[in-house]
Amino acid sequence: MRQTKLTKAARGRDCQVRVPGVCNGNPDTTVLAHYRLGGTSGMGCKPNDIQAAWACSACHDYVDGRSHNRREDDRLTARHWHAEGVMRTQDILIREGMVA
């Protein structure tokens, strides 16, 4: 898989998803976690990299439903945390001049 500038920019960054009681706070595990939204992604198709958040491994697992810490009824809460992380990530990228 080809890594973009925005994918690479996630390395070593603080998690922006920040799920309480889940986030491991370890920037060494941070990756770009894509937000799935109808009309912008689908089966085998990731959304644009600007539609993603910097997430530590624990938060990424949580929002993607791979975590044992998340119950199925927490899906909307997970989407909320992920969406806020996307907005925080975009804010940082804009302030740093990586996106306009």
Structure tokens at 39: 């009309």
Q: Which tokens hold the place of 77?
A: 């809460």
Catalytic residue selected from 34, 60, 68, 82: 34
Tell me whether residue 60 is one of the annotated catalytic residues. no
d(CA 47, CA 68): 25
Phi/psi at 38 (nearest 5 deg)?
A: -50, 135
Catalytic residues: 34
